Structure 1
Amino acid sequence: MITKTKLKEQIDSFPEQFSIDDLVERLILVEKIEKGKIQSENDEILSESEFDKEMNKWFE
């Protein structure tokens, strides 16, 4: 979940005119990064070997 502060930071980083699509894409990216940080802090990550196994399943 994104905070108002993060939202304001992102809006402030945009030029004076921008598309809503650009903003939505940026907010989705920021939310995914934040989610990844939280998962990493909570050790909710895959080891490299576990990741390789999962990737191999995708290509079977």
Structure 2
Amino acid sequence: MKKTQVLDAIQDMPEDIAIDVLMEKLIVLQKIEEGQKQIQEGKVYREEEAEKKLEKWLR
């Protein structure tokens, strides 16, 4: 994550914010960025593959 992204996230938040809320937002933004990178790299599963991998959790 770039510093500009962090600053943008902070600018979008209200004046009074709890640090845990800020940290949670930054973590979510980082996870989204990681997911987008994985998509670009082709590190994705088709729906059938995902269902098979998650089968034990979906029962």
Q: How does 1:6-45 map to 2 (within 5 A)?
A: 6-45=5-44
Unaligned runs of 5+ in 1: none
TM-score by structure 2 length?
A: 0.92
How many angstroms does 1:9 deviate by? Answer: 0.4
Moved over 4 A (4+): none
Task: Supply the distance in 1 between the matched residues of 2:58 and 2:25 (Cα, whole angstroms).
Answer: 30
Q: Whose RCO is larger (CA < 8 A, sep 6+)?
A: 1
Q: Percent identity?
A: 36
TM-score by structure 1 length?
A: 0.91
